[in-house]
């Protein structure tokens, strides 16, 4: 396995990276904070196509806690999103791409649990800072998501739409 990893890494096809986030807000009764860590690993199939997966962990008081009717508790969620990336325009060191992702998220809000599944297109821009380091930004989400609380009689909530407000992310990738 180690030899296979070294061989793949030597071919300059593998990248690792991700993003971090922190938020704090005050609802006039109490201060709330949240953080997230979203590591990512991918493999460049050719000049325009890549496959990868983003893992995510979020913890804190966020708007998703309201969906579970338990707004004063701390939310914890785990997500996984394998994707296929297509770079459709290149301008020197800048690439414009779109990720087609399958998404899964498990939410635990102090015992109130929910699961969500989705399909999404995530447009983005990558800037190669040098041969090894890239700055990457996703600038929205177009997709479908269905979530359901893990409780007797719970009904699924389906959402389809374009999100440009809460779907901006920035990250760094290291190219092997």
Q: Where are the alpha helices (DSSP H) in 73-151?
A: none
Q: What is the CA radius of gyration of the chain?
A: 18
Cβ atoms of residues 73 and 109 within 8 Å: yes
| pLDDT value at 105 more than 50 | yes
**In percent, how much of the chain has pLDDT > 90?**
56
- Does 94 have pLDDT greater than 60? yes
Q: What's the number of domains the chain is made of?
A: 1
The pLDDT of residue 54 is 96
pLDDT tier for residue 163 given thresholds of 50, 70 and 90: confident
- Count of C-beta atoms within a 10 Å radius of residue 69: 9
Give the range of the structural domain holding residue 61, as residue numbers without chain letter.
Answer: 2-175
Question: What CATH number did the domain enclosing 96 receive?
Answer: 2.40.160.20
Predicted TM-score (pTM) of the model is 0.81
Mean pLDDT of the chain: 84
What confidence score (pLDDT) does residue 59 get? 87
Residue 7: both structure tokens together: 């061989």
Contacts of 166 (CB under 8 A, 6+ apart): none
For residue range 45-88, list pLDDT tens digits in order. 999 999 999 999 988 865 544 444 455 567 889 999 999 999 99
Between 11 and 152, the higher pLDDT residue: 152
pLDDT category, 110, cuts 50, 70, 90?
confident
Q: What residues contact residue 84 under an 8 Å CB cut-off, 6+ apart?
A: 49, 50, 51, 99, 100
Q: What share of the chain is helix, strand, coil (3-state, %, to 5)?
A: 10, 70, 20
Mean pLDDT of 148-171: 85
* Beta pairing partners, 48: none
């Amino acid at each position: 396995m180690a030899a296979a990893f070294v061989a793949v890494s030597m071919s300059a096809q593998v990248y690792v990276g991700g993003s971090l986030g922190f938020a704090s807000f005050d609802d006039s009764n109490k201060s709330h904070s949240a953080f997230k860590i979203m590591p990512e690993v991918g493999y460049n199939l050719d000049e325009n196509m890549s496959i990868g997966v983003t893992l995510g962990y979020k913890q804190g008081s966020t708007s998703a806690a309201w969906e579970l009717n338990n707004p004063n508790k701390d939310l914890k969620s785990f997500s996984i999103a394998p994707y296929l990336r297509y770079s459709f325009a290149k301008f020197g060191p800048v690439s414009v791409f779109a990720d087609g992702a399958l998404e899964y998220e498990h939410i635990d809000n102090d015992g109130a649990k929910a699961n969500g599944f989705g399909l999404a297109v995530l447009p983005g821009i990558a800037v190669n800072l040098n041969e090894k380091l890239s700055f990457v930004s996703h600038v929205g989400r177009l997709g479908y998501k269905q979530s359901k609380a893990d409780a007797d009689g719970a009904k699924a909530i389906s959402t389809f739409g374009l999100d440009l407000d809460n779907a901006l992310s920035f990250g760094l990738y290291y190219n092997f």
